[in-house]
Amino acid sequence: MKRIPIVGFLPVMAGILTVVAMSCLITWGKDAPPLPEIKVQTTPVNRDVKLGVSFAPVVKEAAPSVVNIYSTHIVHMRSFPNPFFNDPFFRQFFGDRPGPNDNREITRREQVLGSGVIVSPNGYILTANHVVDGADEIKVVIGDNDKKFTCKVVGTDRQTDVAVLKIDAKDLPAITLGDSDQLEVGDVVLAIGNPLGFSRTVTMGIISALGRHGYGINGPGGYEDFIQTDAAINHGNSGGALVDAEGRLIGINTWIATSSGGSEGIGFAVPINIARYAMERLISGGKVTRAFLGVGLQDIDASLAKFFNLPSQNGALVTDVSTNTPAEKAGIKSGDVIVEFNGKEVADRHSLQLTVSECAPGSKAVVKLIRNGRVQTVNVTLGERPKDEASDQNESNNSNPDNAKADALDGVTVSDLNSQSREQMKIPDEIKGALVTDVDQDSNSAEAGLKQGDVIVEINRQPVVNADNAVKLCKQAKGDQILLKVWHYSGGLSGSRYLTVDNTKKDLKQK
């Protein structure tokens, strides 16, 4: 199954353009304009009304707000000489003129086909970031008469795949924004866009699911809470409108899951509430600032809920607390379970991340957590999420060091950390514990998720000093489960997580 953005690529040779429109000037305005006038309706659709025989009135209301976007990427490449033309026999026919395969730079235009939505009468347009990202030239066409406008890119937010454009115009047919928090699975939706170059195409479906996340579409640290729909969307629909049965914008179409490259009834859109948050901050400040706590989080399964004496599996388990962060200053600790944030219940790690991201940096929040079975409340002054740094993508060498010492758990061999293993596996100096050098794939440990290269930093809430200490703590463990806290580095990302290992088959014999 492929996961692909729903833009269309139209390669065009240099100097040839298939669509006539004025190009966008890609700039970031320093003087932030006031927020535009945007129509918003937060009431849910009337679900008591039976479906009629036509959605034509809805389409007439919403379709004029959808625009075509053509962004051009200028690709510079070199052609290399063909030895064929170096042969004197052939040069007598072709002479010394430059041939098509001479070593020279050639320029080619590659065109990305996408869509956008007018959200204000004075010319603000919402689209997907990947439609305009890295473009050298952008063109916008509005209406059936191919009305042309010069525009600029106000700002982009890769973490939500949202971009904002601005054209110099008045009295445009701006769409009404809905409230994506009011959506329900089964609601009828219409997708309007520019698929495969067919301007303002409308397809109908329902909301298949809500809150889809964990696909990595928006990159490391991205925010995902996608609306899933079976309304047919294809290449060119990226940045187009997903509207409800009353014609209100409830999502920006962004990507499809497909095995064929075309629509298979599994499409995704960014909820309008997330897009609107990013849009307003891009317009007012040129960038999107988000709050952060400074913690690592993981979801809670039945074993963890039992071990941490929790009433349910709801909440987000804190695995790490970074130094000098709002969480550390507020006294939040590893092993705490956050169950409520500013009066809003926390269902899981994902819901907490989204809730925090919607807060303003510097604002105060009340956090309810469970620590050692007891409910506590702490007050946090949220910080500003730092800009993500580039990650080192080099893979670590997970070969077994020579100093492998002992079987610590069922099917697990551990060793001490040393300078060589820290360098190979990118383990920071502040991480203490025992390095997992081997895991039997048929063991309870492997079934629990323990992997070669993990560093066991805690066993049953006790810190691990070295390999011998890990073996000792395992021998002392009572009960059917052992709680581990492990640190791991993979694919440029690092962090800690908790897991529980079945303790009924452990083998603690020294090698």
Sketch out the chain's domains with CATH numbers: 1-45+56-91+102-288 (2.40.10.120), 291-384 (2.30.42.10), 406-502 (2.30.42.10)
Average pLDDT of the chain to the nearest whole number: 81
Q: Which residues contact 445 (CB under 8 A, 6 or more apart)?
A: 409, 410, 411, 412, 439, 501
Q: What is the mean pLDDT of residues 335-350?
A: 94
pLDDT at 59: 94
Report pLDDT for 145. Answer: 64
Give the Cα separation of 463 and 470 in Å (integer).
9
- pLDDT at residue 93 in the model: 44
Residues involved in catalysis: 130, 161, 238
Helix (H) or strand (E) holding 163: strand 162-167
pLDDT at 201: 92
Can you give the pLDDT at residue 397?
35
- Model pLDDT, residue 403: 42
Which residues sit opposite 79 in a β-bridge? 104
Instruction: Report pLDDT for 182.
Output: 94
CA atoms of 36 and 123, how far apart (whole Å): 9
Helix ranges (H only) for 416-466 are 419-425, 444-448
pLDDT value at position 110?
Answer: 72
**Better pLDDT: 412 or 16:** 412
Tell me the C-alpha distance between 415 and 179, whole Å.
54
Q: Answer whether 0.75 is exceeded by the pTM.
A: no
Closest-CA residue to 335 (of 358, 354, 316): 316
What's the confidence (pLDDT) of residue 409?
A: 77
Q: Give the per-residue pLDDT at 365.
A: 94
CA distance 363 to 448: 39
pLDDT-based confidence at residue 164 (cuts at 50, 70, 90): very high
In tens, the pLDDT along 33-46 reads 678 888 898 888 88
Q: Are 316 and 299 within 8 A, CB to CB?
A: yes
**∠ Cα 376 380 386 (to 5°):** 135
270 membership: H or E segment, kind and range: strand 267-271
Least reliable range by pLDDT among 74-78, 194-198, 227-231, 460-464: 74-78
pLDDT of residue 292: 87
Question: What proportion of the chain, given as a percentage, has pLDDT over 70?
Answer: 80
CA separation for the pair 67, 119 (Å, rounded): 11
Left if phi > 0, otherwise alpha if psi is -120 to 50, otherwise beta: which for 156?
beta
Pairing of strands 151-157, 23-26: parallel
Longest CA–CA span in the chain (Å) reads 91
pLDDT, average across residues 72-85: 57
Backbone φ and ψ of 66, nearest 5°? -90, 130
Assign 353 to helix, strand or coil: helix
Q: What tens digit of pLDDT does each residue of 393-436 get?
A: 333 333 333 444 445 677 888 888 888 888 888 888 888 999 99
270 pLDDT more than 90: yes
| DSSP structural state of residue 35 | P
Whole-angstrom distance, CA of residue 397 vs CA of residue 490: 11
3-state secondary structure 176-202: CECCHHHCCCCCEEEEEECHHHCCCEE
Residue whose structure tokens are 């607390």: 321
Lowest mean pLDDT among 36-45, 143-152, 313-322: 143-152
